[in-house]
Amino acid sequence: MTDPRRTALLFVECQRGVIGDRSVLPALAEAAQPAVAAMARLAAGARAAGVQVAHLTYLPLADGRSASRRSPLMRATASTSSWRADDPALEIVPEIGVGPDDLVLPRHQGISPVHQTEVLAILRNLGTDEVVVAGVSTNLAVPLVAVGAADEDFAVTVVRDATVGTPAEHHASMLRHSLAFVARLATTDELLAEWSGA
């Protein structure tokens, strides 16, 4: 069971430019819509229980020159090079929102939201022992966060119904055959029940 006071809920790239109305990945945004309600419930329940909520966003710098274009994914999302700190594409989708005590931790390069970023150091400094991962996508970013956190000795939980990947059968396979080896898998309802009973 998670201890809310030593837990952080990490929303991976739940920004308008990824899963919202300004998405550069429309198929992913469409696939995410059924899970957004679970993400919103998870965020509200986490805040009410005293869980630290953090939003791991992507914001390239220097007209996109902070990010390598070697990978097909980064080339496919090259339009993000025009994003600026005040761009609506950087805003967290309104269903989740940003609470007054939430952290917004943008990365400026790479595919992993935690590699060569300050995210895990900040969480460690806050006394966090466990991270709960939600958001997109189980194709790449969610597993990278889960493995990165596990390698740094955090307990990791991945939220089955508040994560998304495409296609749906790949998402299910990643949960069962990959993420289950590095993380506990739980549903939004299970986590909310744990937090409310803590």
CA–CA dist 149, 71 (Å, integer)? 23
| Bridge partners, residue 104, by sequence | 55
Q: What pLDDT score does 68 carry?
A: 58
pLDDT in tens, 17-36: 999 998 878 898 999 999 99
Whole-prediction pTM: 0.90
Residue 134 bridge partners (DSSP):
11
Name the CATH topology of 4-197: Rossmann fold (3.40.50)
Rounded to an integer, the average pLDDT of 159-172 is 96
- How does residue 148 score in pLDDT terms, banded at 50, 70 and 90? very high
Q: How far apart are CA 10 and CA 12, in angstroms?
A: 6
Asked whether the predicted pLDDT for residue 11 surpasses 60, the reply is yes
* Beta partners for residue 158, in sequence order: 133, 185
Read off the pLDDT of residues 153-162 as tens digits, 9 standing for 90 and up: 999 999 999 9
Name the residue with tokens 């986490």.
Answer: 46
Domain spans, the chain: 4-197
